[in-house]
């Protein structure tokens, strides 16, 4: 809401008052200085709150932004909540098996002692379109598998056909070279169809496509979709997923 004329006048007078107080602080009496300091501290608390919230909301990309790169003929677009907006809690230390961050991301592992942390971070790079990123720190790792499960909303299932391509675009940073695989899971009744792709981390634009024409998917029985991000040899590594988006397009006819 824009400030009214009266509020702007009051604001200028407040600034003028504190400018005068700052210039006369060295010469005023101890009693007056004590009183001014108490008022200044109370004001500083509110100012710091406004500055903190302003820095958070005005930092680019803007919080809640859903801008993303996608094919022009996409009929469904999605950025999971961890990359889209602030969540609470923002992180998990010593993450246990099946621990969740938000409503769509769950970590799976079989470590006897967890030395894994998972946390949401604020993006600020020039190329970032997502307001937030996801960072995973892995120290000692004595397990045989580590994966993040991304649950997809019901909108991904609605109208899904074998003529569709499901595309995933990712921006990933790692401290050490590693391999990451994406596995699409399609639950239909008692069965689950799976399609696995390796993320081409050596390429500038990391993207994989799942062509549903090569699956045994029953269009009338699909119940839910989820994606596993599987990390090979993850120990002593920091993996940051700065953005992750999904889109759906009709497969070009041959």
Which tens digit of pLDDT belongs to each residue from 24-40? Answer: 888 888 888 888 888 88
Q: Among the CATH numbers 3.40.630.30, 2.40.180.10, 3.40.50.360, 2.60.120.260, which is that of 74-250?
A: 2.60.120.260
- Average pLDDT of each block of 10 consecutive residues along the chain (254 residues)? 72 84 87 86 81 62 58 85 90 95 95 94 82 94 95 95 94 94 95 96 90 93 96 95 94 66
Residue 109: which residues within 8 A CB-CB, separation 6 or more? 95, 97, 116, 143, 145, 146, 147
Q: Please tell me the predicted confidence (pLDDT) of residue 70.
A: 58
Q: Are strands 99-101 and 105-109 parallel, antiparallel or unpaired?
A: antiparallel
pLDDT at 67 (0 to 100): 60
pLDDT at 215: 93
Per-residue model confidence (pLDDT) at position 71: 61
Task: Determine the pLDDT at residue 54.
Answer: 65
Q: What is the pLDDT of residue 205?
A: 82
How many other CB atoms sit within 10 Å of the CB of residue 250? 13
- In this prediction, residue 68 carries a pLDDT of 60
For residue range 81-91, list pLDDT tens digits in order: 999 988 989 99
Looking at residue 204, its pLDDT comes to 80
Which pLDDT belongs to residue 7? 78
CA 178 to chain CA centroid, nearest Å: 21
- Which regions of the chain carry the CATH code 2.60.120.260? 74-250
Query: Smallest Cα–Cα separation from 78: which of 27, 130, 37?
Result: 130
Q: Please check whether residue 211 is in contact with residue 163, taking contact to mean a CB–CB distance below 8 angstroms.
A: no
This prediction has a pTM of 0.74
């Amino acid at each position: 809401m824009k400030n009214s004329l009266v509020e702007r006048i009051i604001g200028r007078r407040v600034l003028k008052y504190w400018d005068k107080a700052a210039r006369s602080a060295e010469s005023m009496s101890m009693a007056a200085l004590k009183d001014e300091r108490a008022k200044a501290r109370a004001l500083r608390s509110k100012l710091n709150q406004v500055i903190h919230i302003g820095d958070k909301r005005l930092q680019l990309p803007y919080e809640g932004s859903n801008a993303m790169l996608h094919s022009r003929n996409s009929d469904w677009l999605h950025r999971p909540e961890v990359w889209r907006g602030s969540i609470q809690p923002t992180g998990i230390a010593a993450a246990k098996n099946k621990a969740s961050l938000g409503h769509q991301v769950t970590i799976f592992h079989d470590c006897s002692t967890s030395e894994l942390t998972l946390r949401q971070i604020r993006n600020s790079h020039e190329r970032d379109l997502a307001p937030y990123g996801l960072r995973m720190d892995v120290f000692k790792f004595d397990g045989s598998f580590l994966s993040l499960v991304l649950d997809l909303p019901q909108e991904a299932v609605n109208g899904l056909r074998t003529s569709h391509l499901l595309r995933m675009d990712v921006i990933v940073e790692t401290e050490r070279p590693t391999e990451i695989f994406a596995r699409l899971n399609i639950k239909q009744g008692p069965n689950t169809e799976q399609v696995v792709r390796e993320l081409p981390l050596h390429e500038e634009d990391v993207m994989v496509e799942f062509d549903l024409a090569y699956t045994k998917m029953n269009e009338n029985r699909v119940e839910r979709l989820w994606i596993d991000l599987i990390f090979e040899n993850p120990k002593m590594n920091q993996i940051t997923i700065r953005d992750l988006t999904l889109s759906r397009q009709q497969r070009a006819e041959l």
